[in-house]
Structure 1
Amino acid sequence: MAEDKQTPEEEVVEETVETPDVDTDATADVDPIVALETEIAEAEEKIAEAEDKYLRAHAEMQNMQTRYAKEQATAVKYASQNLAKSVLPALDNLERALQVEADDAAAQQIKTGVEMVYKTLVSALEDNDIKAVGAEGEPFDPNFHQAIQSVPADDDHPADTIAQVLQKGYVLADRVIRPAMVAVYN
């Protein structure tokens, strides 16, 4: 009986050993090729993924550089906006001072000095691409003008044109610093 128990185990072992040997011999020639092809395919896939990531990162860097350059150009272009906003009330006061009539020679000299300061200031603003907007007779444009009053239109004055400028507006390049306050024919 002991021999019977050992024999089936040995037979089972022999069968088990023989079956893998036959399979490994048949697949031993194929497995390295298949394994290498699989590794090559995986490596090519990883290379493609890495190349895609690189191209995306490179494109993102170019976009960031372009965006930064645009932001810098905009900052330089509109750098004088805050200064202009601060100076405009002084310019308005100089315009009001020039509207006063000078009665004597001393007042006329003062008015001449104020006019020189006014012209110098306007010239400095224009040199920095800051220009006045809003003149009587111009078509009303809500992008540049703020209607404060309406005046009845007549044959000589068509509707939606500026009747009177109450306060000049100013633009820096293409950006409105302050809209002109106007009366509009309606």
Structure 2
Amino acid sequence: MSKKQAEEQPKEAKEETVEEDVKSDPKVDALTAKIAELQKQLDDSQNDYLRAQAEIQNMQKSNQKEQSALAKYGAQKLAKEVVPVMDDLKRALSVKVDNESGNQLKTGIEMVYKHLEKALKDNDIQEIDADGVEFNPEFHQAVQTVPADDEHPADTVVSVLQSGYKIADRVLRPAMVVVAQ
């Protein structure tokens, strides 16, 4: 093709000729393949990075939940062991005494009971309200039933045989109660 003919050739045809020359060059083909391979590696690395970020966020959320539960229910094991002590102190306080040394001993037991009760409340451990309330199987364990009367309608707690306790919103021990039927 002469120089004049090449100049007369339309611009589009010139570009096709250049593209054909570029496409057929083995160096360009090798570089194009290398670019595609590197792009795939980059995409894979970015995908791995995003997955790792998501996993880290999930671990952080899980850790935060565990920390929250530990703060909320951390005293549960100790509370389960202390609750029977509270029962024993209540029983000791219910004993009638008729001499001075008995009164002094009862006053000491009462002080211990109040300190222990305050320590439990400070750690969000509370006695379950049971006397005279409507029976709730989540908080109460019926161990006996009595006939309902005017003073105690059906499905209400007549008396508490053993106090129940809860920590935050979790029941440590249900209250053992007598229920009117």
TM-score class, shorter-chain normalisation, is: 0.7 to 0.9
Structure-1-length-normalised TM-score: 0.77
Deviates more, 1:52-61 or 1:142-151: 142-151
Per the alignment, in what secondary structure is the counterpart of residue 153 of structure 1?
coil
Q: Which consecutive residues of structure 2, in runs of 5 or more, have no partner in the other structure?
A: 1-19
Q: Which residue identity lines up with residue 44 of structure 1 in the other structure? A: Q
Q: Which residue identity lines up with residue 58 of structure 1 in the other structure? A: Q
- Residue 23 of structure 2 contacts residue 29 of structure 2 at CA under 8 Å; is this kept in 1? no
Larger Rg: 1
How many residue pairs match? The answer is 162
Query: For 1:143-171, what per-residue CA distance to the aligned partner results, in whole angstroms no more than 9, with x for missing partners?
Result: 21111111222233222221111100111
Query: For 1:81-115, what per-residue CA distance to the aligned partner results, in whole angstroms no more than 9, with x for missing partners?
Result: 12111221121111011111122233222222211
Per the alignment, in what secondary structure is the counterpart of residue 156 of structure 1?
coil
Distance in 1, matches of 2:171 and 2:165, equals 6
**1:138 and 2:98 matched:** no
Kindly report which structure 2 residues correspond to 1:46-57, keeping only aligned pairs within 5 A, or say none.
46-57=41-52
Identity of aligned residues (%): 51
Q: Which consecutive residues of structure 1, in runs of 5 or more, have no partner in the other structure?
A: 1-24
Distance in 2, matches of 1:154 and 1:37, equals 93
Q: CA RMSD in A?
A: 2.2
Distance in 2, matches of 1:101 and 1:27, equals 108
**1:78 and 2:79 matched:** no
Distance in 1, matches of 2:154 and 2:73, equals 34
Paired residue for 1:65?
A: 60
Per-residue deviation at 1:138? 1.3
Distance in 1, matches of 2:129 and 2:167, equals 14
